Structure 1
C-alpha cells in the first residue's frame, strides 16, 4: 500500500529490524523476488507521478538488493517506452540472490547496461539504486565519486529505499550522500530518515509497505515512534467550573544581567500555553520590563537563593535555565531549584552547570539540550553526538534518569524506560535565538496541567515544531515570540479547551 507523508505509519525501525521484517515476509510465503518487483513498481509509479512529462531514465546501481530494485525499475521504464540505461557502479558479476534474477530480466528486456565511468554522463531522471540500508562506514570510491557526479548534475533524482550514503539508523551522512528530490522507501520506515542530516537529502516522501500484513510485524521491535497529529498526547478538556488553581503554578528562574529576554519568552509561553499561574524569579532590574510585557505574571526580583525558598513552597513546576548565566547568581538559584521536590524543566545554562558536575538533577525532570549542550553533558564532541543522535538521547536519559529532548533537525524525545519519539516537523527559519526558551516555557505549562514528563515533552516538541513550520512559511526573520500565538492556536486545534 502506498503512503504519502501525510499518512505515514508511526513505527520507526533500524536497518536490522527492517531486514527482520523482510525475512518474516519471505518466511510467510512471499518470494523475495516478488518483494523486489513490488518495490520496483512502487518506485516507478511514484517517479511517474512526480515527473509526469519525463521520458528518460539513468539508473545507477550497486551490487546489492538495492541494485536489483534498480534493474527492475529500468525494465518497467523500457516497457513504458522511455529511453533508459543502467550505469553499473557495482560489477553485475557480484550480484547475489534475487538481484541476479533482476539483472537477467533487464538484460532480457534489452535494457542497456554499461559500467559506470566518469565519461558516462547522466540524463533524464536519475534513479539512485546504489548502497541501500546496509551501509555502515563512510562511502568509499568509486561510489563517492558517483555521488558527487549525481549531486553536481542538476538532474532530478529518485532514491530507492534510502539516499545512498545516508545511515538508516542514525540519519548521519556517511562521508557523502545523494541529494534526492524523491525517496521511495519500503516495508518499514527507517529511523535515520527522520533525524540528523536526513532532511537535507531525502526530498519528498513516499512509503510503500509492499503489501505486508499487520501480522508480519508481530515480534519485531521498533526503534522509535514518529510523532503525528493522530498519536501525539493530548491535554484533557476543561470542565465549565475550572479555575486557575487546577492548572498548576509555574515558576521560571533565570534572566541574569544581559539575558533578561530569555526568561520573559519562557514565561510568556507558559502563560499562553495554559498554565494556571505563572511566576518569574529574575534580576531586580528586569522586573519593570517583565511586568510591562507580562502583567499577568507575578514577577519577583531575586538577588539570592534565600529569596526563592518561600516561592518554592507555593509552586508546582519549575523552569530553570533561560538566561540564567553561569555566574554565582545563577549557580545559587540552580542549587536551590535542584533541592526542590518539584517537576522541573532544565534548559540552557542550567544544563551547562549540570555538565560541570556542581549540581545534581532532581527526579521527574525534563532536560532540553541542543547538540552542543548534549556533548558537554556526555563528555563527547558535538560531532560525536550528531553522528548517532538516537544513541546520544538514550545515553543522556539513562545517565540523568530524565526525559531528554535532544533538539535539532528531527528532534528526539527519550525516556529512561527506553521509549524514543521523533518529531520531523519544523522549518529552517527556526534557526534563530530564543526558540529554546519558548520550548522550555511550553513544557513547563504542560507539566503544570498534569501531563507526565514524557507525554509533555512529546506534545511540547510537536507543538513547537508545528508552530515553527507554520510561521516559517513567511520565510527568514522569524522571531521566537512569533511562535507563541501559533502554539496556542495549534494546542486548541489539537485539544480543545472546552468539549
Structure 2
C-alpha cells in the first residue's frame, strides 16, 4: 500500500472517543445536520472519483446517523440524475434529529425508499450505510442477511465511516462484516480500520475531517498513534571518526539443528541495520555455512550454556530465539541468556519457552510475538488475541514489563502505556524468516543507542516499508531480500553522514 496523505491525523480512536468528539463539535457550534451533509458530500466526491462511469446507486440505510449519511448521499445522486434506490433496514419513523431530517429530505427529493427484505434487488453501486461505529455485538437480522447479500453480490461497494460488522475499536468481525471496495471514514480515524480484520474489509480508505475544528480534534483522547516517517526517532549522524566499537556489539543466539537459517537472517539484519559488530552463537554444524554466507559475522559454535555465559560480557545487546528450538540445547542457552544485563530482544522459540514457564525474563526487554505466540504467552486462544489485538499487546507489555511488538496486519508496538500502530506491509511478506529479520533489526537499533520503544517502532516501520517496496513484484518474497532494502530505507530516514 502507499503512504496515506501527510494531512491525515496520527491519532487512532475507538467508537466512544469518536462519539465524544462528535458531541464536542456540536457543542462548539457545528450542528449535527451540517456534519451529516458534509459527510454525504465527502462520500459523493470519493465515489465519483473511484467510479466515474456509474450512474446507479443502491443504499442500505440503518437506524442511526450512519443511515442518515446514506439518505443524504442518495439525495446527491438523485440530484445528479442517477437511478437511486434506498432500502431501509430500520423503521424510518424511529430516526431522530439529523438522521430524521436526512430521511425527510430524501423523501422530498423523490428518492425511492423501500423496507429491506431478503429478496431485495441489489444493483449498481452498493452503499453500506447500515451500522457504522454503533455496533457492539454480533450481527443480528436483518443486518446479517444484508451483509451476506452485499458480499455475495459481486457489485462494487462503498462503506460509510466503517464497514458494517467491523468493530471500530479492535478490528474484529462481529460474526461477519461488509467487504467494501472503498471506505470513507469521517472526523477521526478508527483503530479498527487498521488492525485485526480491518485491512481486509475496508478496501481503499479515504478520510474526511468534515471541516471539524482542528484544535478540538487534536485535543481529543486517542487509543493509539500511527507510525510515520515524521514521528519516528532518528539515529544521529555518525562523526567522521566513528569506528565499529562505537556502533554497538550485538549477539544473536539461536539456530538449532535444521534451523540455522533463522539465526543467520537475524545476524545479517543486525549488520545491515548498522550494528558495529555482530556475533552469532549457534550450533557447531552451522558455523561453516554462516561464515561462507556472511564472512563479516563472528560465529561461535556452542555446545553448552557455559560457553554462552562466557560470551555475554563482550556484548551490548542480545537477540535470542530465532531457530533456537525448544529442546535441551535451546532451553539451556535461554537460561544463560536470561542472565544478560544488557538490552534484549526475545523472539520465536525464546517466547515459546517463556510461555511454558521454562525461564524468567528481565524487565525492559523487547518481545516480538506473532499472534500464536502472544496467545501462548497470555494463556488464551488465538481467536481471543486477534479479536482484540490492542488489548493483547498492552496486557503482554504489562505482564512482562517489556516493550511488545505484536506482529500481523496492523502491527502494534507498546510499552504497556503508549500504543503505536504500523499500517504498512504487504501480503507477500507472508513467508518464513521475516520475523527473524525484524528481531535482528531491533537489536541493531538498540546497539546504536535507541531505547527499546523507539527502536522497536523504527524497526517495525522500516521492515514493513521494505516489504511494501519488494512486494510490488508479487509472491515469492524472500526474507533475505528485505535486508538490503531496509538498509536503503534506514539511510533515507536517518542519513549516516550530515
TM-score for the superposition, normalised by structure 2: 0.98
1:219 CA drift (Å): 4.6
Q: Is the contact between residue 185 and residue 207 of structure 1 (CA under 8 Å) also seen in structure 2? A: yes
Tell me, yes or no, if structure 1 residue 497 matches structure 2 residue 492. Answer: no
Give the RMSD, CA atoms, in angstroms.
1.1
Q: Helix, strand or coil: the match of 2:230? A: coil
Runs of at least 5 residues in structure 2 that lack an aligned partner in the other structure: none
Give 1:201-216 correspondences, 5 Å limit: 201-216=201-216
Q: 1:195 to 1:5 in 2, by over 3 A?
A: farther
Q: Is the contact between residue 427 and residue 471 of structure 2 (CA under 8 Å) also seen in structure 1? A: yes
Aligned to 2:429: 430
Aligned to 2:478: 479
1:209 CA drift (Å): 0.9
In the aligned structure 1, how far is the partner of 2:179 from the partner of 2:286? 48
In the aligned structure 1, how far is the partner of 2:217 from the partner of 2:199? 27
Cα-to-partner distance string for 1:402-445 (whole Å, 9 max, x where unaligned): 000000111000113x1000011111111111111110001100
1:243 CA drift (Å): 1.0
Tell me, yes or no, if structure 1 residue 420 matches structure 2 residue 433. Answer: no
1:120 CA drift (Å): 1.7
In the aligned structure 2, how far is the partner of 1:150 from the partner of 1:5? 29
Aligned to 2:459: 460
1:6 CA drift (Å): 5.6
1:4 CA drift (Å): 5.5
Aligned to 2:125: 125
Q: Is the contact between residue 342 and residue 364 of structure 1 (CA under 8 Å) also seen in structure 2? A: no
Aligned to 1:40: 40
Cα-to-partner distance string for 1:337-361 (whole Å, 9 max, x where unaligned): 1111110000000000000112111
1:202 CA drift (Å): 0.4
Q: Helix, strand or coil: the match of 1:313? A: helix
In the aligned structure 2, how far is the partner of 1:486 from the partner of 1:4? 21
1:229 CA drift (Å): 2.0
Aligned to 1:97: 97
Tell me, yes or no, if structure 1 residue 295 matches structure 2 residue 298. Answer: no
Q: Helix, strand or coil: the match of 1:230? A: helix
Aligned to 2:64: 64
Tell me, yes or no, if structure 1 residue 157 matches structure 2 residue 169. Answer: no
Q: Helix, strand or coil: the match of 1:207? A: strand
Runs of at least 5 residues in structure 1 that lack an aligned partner in the other structure: none
Tell me, yes or no, if structure 1 residue 442 matches structure 2 residue 441. Answer: yes
Aligned to 2:345: 345
In the aligned structure 2, how far is the partner of 1:377 from the partner of 1:400? 10
In the aligned structure 2, how far is the partner of 1:284 from the partner of 1:7? 53
In the aligned structure 2, how far is the partner of 1:427 from the partner of 1:253? 28
In the aligned structure 2, how far is the partner of 1:479 from the partner of 1:218? 40
Q: Is the contact between residue 304 and residue 329 of structure 1 (CA under 8 Å) also seen in structure 2? A: yes
In the aligned structure 1, how far is the partner of 2:151 from the partner of 2:229? 34
Q: Is the contact between residue 343 and residue 363 of structure 1 (CA under 8 Å) also seen in structure 2? A: no
Q: Is the contact between residue 309 and residue 337 of structure 2 (CA under 8 Å) also seen in structure 1? A: no
In the aligned structure 2, how far is the partner of 1:220 from the partner of 1:229? 23
In the aligned structure 2, how far is the partner of 1:298 from the partner of 1:252? 10
Aligned length: 496
Q: Is the contact between residue 5 and residue 206 of structure 1 (CA under 8 Å) also seen in structure 2? A: no
1:138 CA drift (Å): 1.1
Which shifted more, 12-21 or 358-367?
358-367
TM-score for the superposition, normalised by structure 1: 0.98
Runs of at least 4 residues off by over 6 Å: none
In the aligned structure 1, how far is the partner of 2:276 from the partner of 2:473? 32
In the aligned structure 2, how far is the partner of 1:165 from the partner of 1:388? 15
In the aligned structure 1, how far is the partner of 2:361 from the partner of 2:112? 63
1:152 CA drift (Å): 1.1
Q: Helix, strand or coil: the match of 2:251? A: strand
Cα-to-partner distance string for 1:419-475 (whole Å, 9 max, x where unaligned): 000011111111111111110001100100100101011100001111111111111
1:204 CA drift (Å): 0.7
